[in-house]
C-alpha cells in the first residue's frame, strides 16, 4: 500500500495506533499469484491476518484457506466458508481439533512424525495426509526449518506408515521460509519432491497434491524477487519434474504475508522524546508487544514521517515498560515532535494477530480504505 496524501488525510480521522487496509491491493496480489503460477490454488494462511472482512473478501475472489487451529476453523465456519475450501497444514494438531475437522469432513492435513500419524489415525481416521518435508530456507528473513518437517531421506518411510495406519497419503508440503528472498528455494524444494514422488510411485503410493508452501515476500527494506520471477522458476521446475503428471496434479500455495502484507499501513503517534548520553530516542504508541512483534528478531519495516526536516539517527521505543520493547534501533528519520504521526509501511501481516494488551496498551484497530 502506497502512502499518499489521500491516505494521510484519511488517517486523520482515526485515533492511533491503527492499520488502514486497502482490499483492492489484496485482490491485486491474489490475481498476480494466480496469473504467474500455472494452475495454482491459493489457500490463504489466515494466521497472517484473520480479520473477517479480509477472509470474506478473499472468499469472494475464490480463495481457499489454510488453518492451524480449532479457533481458525470456527471463524471460517461462522463466515460460512465451504469446508471443501479448507485445508490444515499445521503438522501438530490437538485431538480436539482433529475431531472437529473430521466432523466437518475436512480431510486434507499435514503431518511430519510417526506420533502425528498415530494421532490422526485415531481422531480423524479418514484423513488425506500431506507430508511436510524440510527444505532449504537459505535467504529467508524467518527460517522455519527447526520446529517442523521430516527429513527427505525418511519420507518414504513416513508415507508407507501413513498408508499402513489406514490414512491416504496424497502429497507433500514444505516451507521455504517466511519472507523468502531466494527464489531458488522453491526450485530446490521441487527437486526434493520429485525424488520422493518417484520412490513413492514404486511402492504404489500415487501422490497428487503438490504444495508450494508459503514464503512469498513483500517489499520492506531489502531487494525481493518479483512474483513473476518466482512464478517462472516454479513453473519451469514443475514442467521439468512433473511434466507427465500435470493433468492429475493439485498444486497449492499457502501465502499469508504475500497476500495481505503490503495491503496496509500502520499509523502511530510520537508520545515522547529523550536524549540518553549521545543517543536520541523517540517513543511511539505501538511497539513490539502490541503490534510489531516481528521486529524482535530484527525484522525491519519502512517508516515515513510527515516532517521533512533534517534527518537524524534515532532509536524508537514502544509504549510499554518492558525493556525489550524497542522496535527500531538507530534508524534515520526526520526530526519529529511529540504529537507527530509516523507511518509504518506494509504492516498488514503478523502485526495485530501477534499483539497483546500488555501494560494496558491497545492493539491497533483495523480500518479499510474501500469497504
Catalytic center residues: 321
Residue 153 DSSP symbol: G
DSSP of 277-325: TTEEEEEES--TTTT-GGGGGT----EEES--S-EEEEEEE-SSS-TT-
**C-alpha cell read off for 152:** 527427505
Helix (H) or strand (E) holding 164: helix 155-164
Determine contact, residues 345/317, Cβ cutoff 8 Å. no
**Alpha-carbon span 223 to 226, nearest angstrom:** 9
Q: Which of 87, 89, 96 is nearest to 148 (CA)?
A: 89
DSSP of 17-52: SEEEE-HHHHHHHHHHHHHHSTTEEEEEEGGG---H
Determine contact, residues 347/301, Cβ cutoff 8 Å. yes
CA 166 to the chain's CA centroid: 32
β-strand partners of 45: 66
CA distances from 299 to 8, 221, 305 (A): 25, 9, 20
CA distances from 207 to 20, 159, 173 (A): 42, 10, 12
Helix (H) or strand (E) holding 87: strand 86-88
The answer, yes or no, to whether the previous bond of 17 is cis (omega within 30 of 0) is yes
**Alpha-carbon span 365 to 157, nearest angstrom:** 47
Amino acid at each position: 500500500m502506497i502512502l499518499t496524501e489521500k491516505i494521510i488525510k484519511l488517517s486523520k480521522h482515526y485515533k492511533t495506533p491503527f492499520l488502514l487496509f486497502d482490499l483492492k491491493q489484496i485482490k491485486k496480489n491474489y490475481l498476480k499469484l494466480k496469473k504467474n503460477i500455472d494452475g495454482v490454488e491459493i489457500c490463504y494462511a489466515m494466521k497472517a491476518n484473520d480479520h473477517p472482512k479480509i477472509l470474506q473478501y478473499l472468499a469472494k475472489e475464490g480463495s481457499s484457506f489454510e488453518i492451524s487451529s480449532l479457533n481458525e476453523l470456527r471463524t471460517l465456519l461462522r463466515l460460512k466458508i465451504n469446508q471443501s475450501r479448507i485445508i490444515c497444514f499445521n503438522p501438530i494438531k490437538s485431538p480436539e481439533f482433529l475431531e472437529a475437522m473430521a466432523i466437518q469432513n475436512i480431510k486434507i492435513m499435514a503431518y511430519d512424525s510417526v506420533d502425528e500419524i498415530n494421532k490422526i489415525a485415531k481422531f480423524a481416521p479418514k484423513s488425506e495426509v500431506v507430508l511436510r518435508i524440510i527444505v532449504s530456507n537459505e535467504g529467508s528473513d524467518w527460517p522455519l526449518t527447526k520446529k517442523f518437517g521430516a527429513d527427505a531421506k525418511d519420507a518414504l518411510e513416513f508415507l508407507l506408515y501413513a498408508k499402513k495406519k489406514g490414512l491416504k497419503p496424497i502429497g507433500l508440503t514444505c516451507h521455504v521460509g517466511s519472507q523468502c528472498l531466494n527464489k531458488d528455494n522453491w526450485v530446490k524444494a521441487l527437486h526434493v519432491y520429485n525424488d520422493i514422488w518417484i520412490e513413492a510411485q514404486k511402492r504404489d503410493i500415487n501422490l497428487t497434491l503438490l504444495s508450494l508452501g508459503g514464503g512469498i515476500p513483500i517489499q520492506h527494506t531489502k531487494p525481493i524477487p518479483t512474483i513473476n520471477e518466482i512464478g517462472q522458476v516454479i513453473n519451469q521446475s514443475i514442467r521439468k519434474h512433473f511434466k507427465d503428471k500435470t493433468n492429475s496434479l493439485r498444486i497449492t500455495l499457502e501465502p499469508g504475508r504475500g497476500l495481505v502484507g503490503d495491503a496496509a499501513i500502520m499509523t502511530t503517534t510520537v508520545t515522547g522524546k529523550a536524549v540518553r548520553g549521545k543517543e536520541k530516542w523517540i517513543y511511539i504508541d505501538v511497539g513490539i508487544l502490541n503490534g510489531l512483534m516481528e521486529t524482535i528478531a530484527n525484522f525491519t519495516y519502512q517508516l515515513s514521517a510527515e516532517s521533512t526536516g533534517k534527518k537524524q539517527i534515532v532509536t524508537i521505543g514502544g509504549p510499554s515498560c518492558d525493556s525489550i520493547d524497542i522496535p527500531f534501533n538507530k534508524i534515520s528519520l526526520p526530526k519529529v515532535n511529540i504529537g507527530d504521526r509516523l507511518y509504518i509501511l506494509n504492516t498488514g501481516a503478523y502485526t495485530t494477530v501477534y499483539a497483546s494488551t500488555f501494560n494496558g496498551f491497545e492493539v491497533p484497530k483495523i480500518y479499510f480504505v474501500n469497504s
